[in-house]
Amino acid sequence: MLILGFESSCDETAVAIVRDGREILANKISSQIEIHALYGGVVPEIASRAHTEAISSLTNEALEEAGLSLSDIDAIAVTNCPGLIGALLVGVNFAKSLAYKLGIPLIPVHHIRGHIAANYCYFDGNDGRELLVPPFTSLVMSGGHTSLIGVNGYTDFEILGATRDDAAGEAFDKVARLLSLPYPGGAKMDKLAYEGDKNYITFPQAQVKDSPFDFSFSGLKTAAINYIHKLEQNKAEYNKADIAASYTDAVVKAITKRVELLFEDNEKFKTKKFVLAGGVSANSHIRRAIAELADKYGVKLYVPPLSLCGDNAVMIASQGYYEYTVGNKTAGTNLNAYATMGIDEV
């Protein structure tokens, strides 16, 4: 089954074609980073306009890359939640009209379900790679989400823990911005952290009472912001790399603490299969720390290639396949977009 997938929830317009949820035939991404970097963050109205300008030609490019025409496509999958509402609506409306014109099914996909599914296209059982199939547990870390999720089936999700305030990506981006690193700062913080001393400052660690798997990054983020502001008010010289290293170390510790607790919990973590997903799972410090933990606890770890960590439409076409074939899900021309939506609510 050939699925044409669309992703437009934030600052990348993406179109992909995936066969049977696993085989990537085309993967086109038009990034808006350069535009938003001028403002230090995503400007929603500009994002919507840029999606509108890119989506049609990107679809043609994806078809060309796959050597297919629209008449070969069996179904259309589109991110309809969560994300920037105006940005989501561009993808949803484009997908809707195309599905209507072609008379083929339209499949709505939750963006975070998609991030997890990106792994199916890499761990596909070919060329010595594992074949990843549920059940497993996933740690999803993106710009807006940091959650531990039990993936009991392709369309059956259970939230084990989530952030109570900021997401890891947001926390990285905000501090990166204060350190004058260009947007989006996450990847630049990753690199800069290698040049500094991680023991230079000890940032606070938060714990959510009675919810050991929940995350909280706002205290840590605020401590870093206050620290930098104070240095600047005092016109003090400081080494950005030391702050990046100490802050990254604090984020890594906050994450690995929850992951280790999960690995020790035989009730909540029966499968012993752990899957990383989302833009922040590109972070080399987090990848290494979790790999060490997985080794220690004999856990089978699945880490997506960097190319499938950030936003793309491959992940939407892949999850769309399972929403359709396992979840029997389709939508009509009244399909709407939603800025917020739980992974277990759709």
- Residues at the site binding ligand KG4, with contacts judged by CB under 6 A: 10, 115, 142-144, 169, 172-173, 184-187, 190, 278-280, 282-283, 310-311
Classify residue 167 by its DSSP letter. -
Instruction: Give the C-alpha separation, 161 to 89, whole Å.
Output: 29
Nearer to ligand KG4 among residue 38 and residue 131 (C-beta): 38
Q: Give the footprint of Zn ion on residues 53-112 (CB under 5 A).
A: none
Q: Which C-beta is closer to ligand KG4: that of 98 or that of 143?
A: 143
Selection from Zn ion, ligand KG4, none that 110 binds (CB < 5 to 8 A by kind) is none
**Cβ partners under 8 Å of residue 104, min gap 6:** 73, 74, 75, 76
Rule CB under 5 A: say whether 311 interacts with Zn ion.
yes
Q: Which does 80 bind (CB under 5 to 8 A by kind): ligand KG4, Zn ion, none?
A: none
Q: Binds 91, which of Zn ion, ligand KG4, none (CB < 5 to 8 A, cut-off by type)? A: none
Radius of gyration of the chain (CA): 20
Q: How many CB atoms lie within 10 A of CB 71?
A: 7
282's contact among Zn ion, ligand KG4, none, with CB below 5 to 8 A by partner kind, is ligand KG4
Query: Quick one: what does residue 173 bind among Zn ion, ligand KG4, none, with the CB cut-off 5 to 8 Å set by partner type?
Result: ligand KG4
Residue type, 147: S
Please tell me the total number of residues recorded for the chain in this structure. Answer: 346
Smallest distance, ligand KG4 to C-beta of residue 195, A? 15
Q: Does 142 bind Zn ion (CB under 5 A)?
A: yes
Cβ atoms of 9 and 83 closer than 8 Å = yes
# residues contacting Zn ion (CB under 5 A):
2
Q: Which residue, 48 or 283, has its beta carbon nearer to ligand KG4? A: 283
Which of Zn ion, ligand KG4, none is residue 190 near (CB under 5 to 8 Å by kind)?
ligand KG4
x/- string (CB under 5 A) for Zn ion, residues 231-250?
--------------------
- Kindly tell me which of 142 and 319 has the beta carbon lying closer to Zn ion: 142
Part of the chain binding Zn ion (CB under 5 A), chosen from 21-29, 77-85, 136-144, 297-305: 136-144
Burial class (CB in 10 A: 0-12, 13-18, 19+), 49: middle
Look at residues 330, 342, 337 and name the one whose alpha carbon lies nearest to residue 77: 330
- Give min distance, CB of 253 to Zn ion, in A: 24
Structure tokens at 313: 């439409």
Cα dist from 8 to 27, 51, 111, 309, whole Å:
14, 7, 10, 16
In the structure encoding, which two tokens stand for residue 8, read together?
A: 């437009």
Rounded Cα distance between 283 and 310, Å, is 11
Q: Residue numbers of the site for Zn ion (CB under 5 A)?
A: 142, 311
